[in-house]
Amino acid sequence: MSFNKAPTMDRNDFIEQSMPFIIKTTSSFLGRYVCTDNDEEFSIALIAFNEAIEKYNENRGNFWAFAKLVIESRLKNNLRKNARIADSSLEELTEGGMQIKDVGVTVDKTTSDLRDEILAFKKELEQFDITFEILAEKSPKHKDTRDRAIRIGYRVSDDGVLIEKVYEKKRLPIRDISRKFEITEKILKRSKVFILSTAVLFFKKYTNLIVWIKGVK
């Protein structure tokens, strides 16, 4: 397929025949393998390719070069949008007590790995009806209390029975934790949202986020 004119065949058939081009363009731009089943970027590229068909005319030159330009432009816009969300979410996490700390690990907060972890963590907390705003509101304000809550969260994440109950009940099993770790229920209740969130963070092994948490040993 190397013509300069706009496609004249049925659009759906043309898009189907153009799948290798769409996948290759998307994969080259992202620098990774692209899954056609549930990949957000592939869906964006598919919509962009359809947009290219609609907007193309011969004055724009080679169709494939134009389509590649449109796809890459839409993918860039999506990356910028996700970067803004990640920056905002990281600020909310900081307000929530997960303070950024220089731990000798170079992690650029604009990298795709950290951005993906932030968005995944935000999505993971939704099943517990916890937003970053709620996390900020309910988190311990004093450093000692926060550090203790982080340590408890880690211990919960490392205990198969307890973390299973967290996901099964969609809440912190306060009584079980109190008995197992000999911690008063009063202490657990005061920081339950933060402890649960931290337990999820450790359990899901969001490495790039973990290394930024203040007080983690």
Kindly report the backbone phi and psi dihedral angles of residue 191, in degrees, each rounded to the nearest multiple of 5, phi listed first.
-125, 25
Fold of 11-86: Rna Polymerase Sigma Factor; Chain: A (1.10.1740)
In the DSSP assignment, the letter for residue 59 is G
Q: 98 with 213: CB under 8 angstroms?
A: yes
Q: Which residues contact 26 (CB under 8 A, 6 or more apart)?
A: 34, 41, 42, 45, 71, 75
- Spell out the domain ranges in the chain: 11-86, 101-210
Q: Which phi-psi region, left, alpha or beta, contains residue 31 (left: φ > 0; alpha: ψ -120 to 50)? A: left
Q: Which of 20, 8, 62 is nearest to 45 (CA)?
A: 20
Q: Which residues of the chain have pLDDT under 70?
A: 1-9, 79-114, 208, 211-217
Count of residues making up the chain: 217
Helical (H) or strand (E) element with 67: helix 63-95
- Residue 86: predicted pLDDT: 56
- The number of CA neighbours under 13 Å toward the Cβ of 117 is 22
pTM of the predicted protein model: 0.52
- Residue 15: predicted pLDDT: 92
Q: Which of 87, 77, 40, 215 is nearest to 139 (CA)?
A: 215
Q: Which of 70, 23, 26 is nearest to 49 (CA)?
A: 70
User: Measured between alpha carbons, how far is 192 from 168 in angstroms, rounded to an integer?
Assistant: 16
- Residue 17: predicted pLDDT: 92
Q: 157 with 213: CB under 8 angstroms?
A: no
Q: 2 with 21: CB under 8 angstroms?
A: no
Other CB atoms within 10 A of residue 24 CB: 12
- Residue 7: predicted pLDDT: 53
pLDDT in tens, 53-65: 999 988 888 999 9
- Residue 4: predicted pLDDT: 43
- Residue 215: predicted pLDDT: 36
- Residue 94: predicted pLDDT: 57
- Residue 103: predicted pLDDT: 33
With residues binned 3-state (H G I as helix, E B as strand, rest as coil), the percentages for the chain, rounded to 5, are 70, 0, 30
Q: Which residue has the tokens 């933060």?
A: 194
- Residue 5: predicted pLDDT: 47
